[in-house]
């Protein structure tokens, strides 16, 4: 701001033109309530730290606010070692840090978060085609992980609000319980970054050197988690009791199957349940064994973490080698042969 404004008066003048006409501004008396803009607070946009073991011999470093720049720097290594044809992409997942924000709304806005980002390198003339391709991919991802697509809305970022590097950006917004807020972004970053890093691409076929353009789909992992959790949270009544459960898509449930012996103190039931547990674990490692409390409580515990299937070994199992499989959403049980169990579950996890 110092470049444009040389005095405190200039700054107030600027502020008054932007915010309201001078006459209204002067009459409002608001001027007195503002802190001095020039010796006022400056924002810390990045986290500053020091690299180096010895005090006094360190270098200032800054924690990254996005993954993108690391990937643009990697661009040269990848081109030199793999010689990929355009279009090609680089994807990374990792921690990012933002110091200028006010953390709020649980996982939604935090200073340290996990970002998943692609930089997809393309020919300039094909940017619209690739933008559309990624737009569809992002919708497919949203459906794939079980986010309710009716709660997601595209929002075209206006020209005035576009980031300095972008020629077009679409925000994917989600109906969070605290309002409609950005979940993901899709940006056409042009050749802004590669040009700044002075990186280019040699096309073996056309024998031409040029700077590729970039489409950037970006996904906050924490916001993904929050959208999934808030969308999956459900309450109903089962067996005359109110219950809370997570209606997670089976593919993303952290525990896919829980195995119980009906009674903890019957050695034969426990032994058989352990056998069933081991048999499933070979194919589906996201598994739990639980013999605590009564069966109703075990079901409820699994409902709360969104486990799609509970398998119970009971006295009938010892007679005919069948188990009960209880589905999370309906609470209904089916008897399934122990030998067919794995196939039964696999089919329903797809």
Q: Encode 110-147: b = buried (16+ Cβ within 10 Å), e = exposed.
A: beebbbbbbbbbbeeeebeebbebbbeebeebbeeebb
At residue 57, φ and ψ (nearest 5 deg) are: -120, 30
Contact 248, 327 (CB under 8 A): no
**Pick 63 or 342: Cβ nearer ligand GAP:** 63
Smallest separation, CB 137 to ligand GAP (Å): 15
Smallest separation, CB 218 to ligand GAP (Å): 4
Contact 232, 246 (CB under 8 A): yes
Smallest separation, CB 290 to ligand GAP (Å): 34
**Pick 113 or 134: Cβ nearer ligand GAP:** 113
Smallest separation, CB 65 to ligand GAP (Å): 7
* Of 211, 161, 210, the residue nearest 187 (C-alpha): 161
CA distance 177 to 181: 10
The strand ranges marked E within the chain are 47-51, 59-63, 88-97, 112-122, 152-156, 168-176, 179-190, 201-203, 208-210, 213-220, 233-238, 241-246, 257-261, 287-289, 309-313, 322-327, 333-337
**Pick 192 or 260: Cβ nearer ligand GAP:** 192
**Pick 161 or 271: Cβ nearer ligand GAP:** 161
Tokens of 162: 């576009």
- Nearest residue (beta carbon) to ligand GAP: 220
**Pick 78 or 225: Cβ nearer ligand GAP:** 225
Q: State the CB neighbour count (10 A cutoff) for residue 41.
A: 8
Smallest separation, CB 44 to ligand GAP (Å): 14
Smallest separation, CB 101 to ligand GAP (Å): 5
Contact 130, 120 (CB under 8 A): yes
Smallest separation, CB 219 to ligand GAP (Å): 6
Half-sphere exposure of 242 (CA within 13 A, CB side): 2
**Pick 230 or 312: Cβ nearer ligand GAP:** 230
**Pick 76 or 109: Cβ nearer ligand GAP:** 109
Q: What is the contact surface with ligand GAP in residues (CB under 6 A)?
A: 66, 68, 98, 101, 109-110, 113, 115, 117, 182-185, 216, 218, 220, 222-223
Smallest separation, CB 335 to ligand GAP (Å): 45
Q: What 8-state DSSP symbol labels residue 109? A: B
CA distance 235 to 300: 12
CA of residue 291 relative to chain centroid, distance:
34
**Pick 11 or 96: Cβ nearer ligand GAP:** 96
């Amino acid at each position: 701001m110092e470049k444009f404004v040389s005095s405190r008066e200039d700054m107030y003048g600027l502020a008054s033109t932007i915010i309201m006409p001078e006459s209204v501004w002067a009459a409002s008396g608001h001027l007195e309530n503002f802190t001095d803009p020039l010796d006022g607070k400056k924002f810390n946009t990045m986290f500053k730290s020091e690299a180096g073991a010895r005090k006094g011999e360190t270098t200032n470093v800054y924690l990254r606010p996005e993954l993108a720049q690391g990937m643009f720097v990697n661009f040269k290594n990848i081109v030199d070692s793999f010689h990929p044809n355009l279009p090609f992409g680089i994807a990374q997942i990792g921690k990012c840090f933002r110091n200028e924000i006010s953390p709020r709304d649980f996982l939604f806005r935090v200073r340290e978060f996990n970002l998943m980002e692609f930089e997809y390198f393309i020919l300039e003339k094909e940017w619209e085609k690739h933008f559309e391709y990624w737009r569809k991919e992002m919708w497919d991802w949203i459906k794939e992980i079980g986010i309710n697509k009716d709660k997601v809305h595209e929002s075209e970022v206006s020209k005035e609000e576009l980031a300095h590097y972008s020629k077009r950006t679409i925000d994917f917004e989600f109906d969070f319980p605290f309002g409609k807020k950005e979940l993901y972004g899709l940006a056409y970053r042009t050749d802004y970054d590669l040009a700044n890093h002075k990186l280019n691409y040699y096309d073996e076929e056309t024998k031409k050197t040029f700077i590729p353009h970039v489409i950037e789909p970006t996904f906050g992992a924490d916001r993904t988690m929050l959208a999934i959790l808030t969308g999956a949270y459900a309450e109903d009544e089962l067996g005359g009791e109110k219950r809370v459960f997570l209606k997670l898509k089976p593919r993303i449930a952290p525990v896919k199957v829980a195995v119980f012996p009906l009674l903890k103190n019957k050695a034969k039931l426990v032994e058989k349940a352990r056998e069933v547990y081991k048999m499933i674990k070979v194919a589906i490692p996201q598994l739990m064994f639980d013999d605590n409390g009564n069966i109703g409580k075990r079901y409820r515990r699994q409902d709360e973490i969104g486990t799609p299937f509970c398998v119970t070994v009971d006295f009938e199992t010892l007679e005919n080698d069948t188990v009960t499989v209880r589905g999370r959403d309906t609470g209904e049980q089916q008897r399934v042969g122990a030998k067919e169990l794995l196939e039964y579950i696999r089919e329903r996890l797809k």
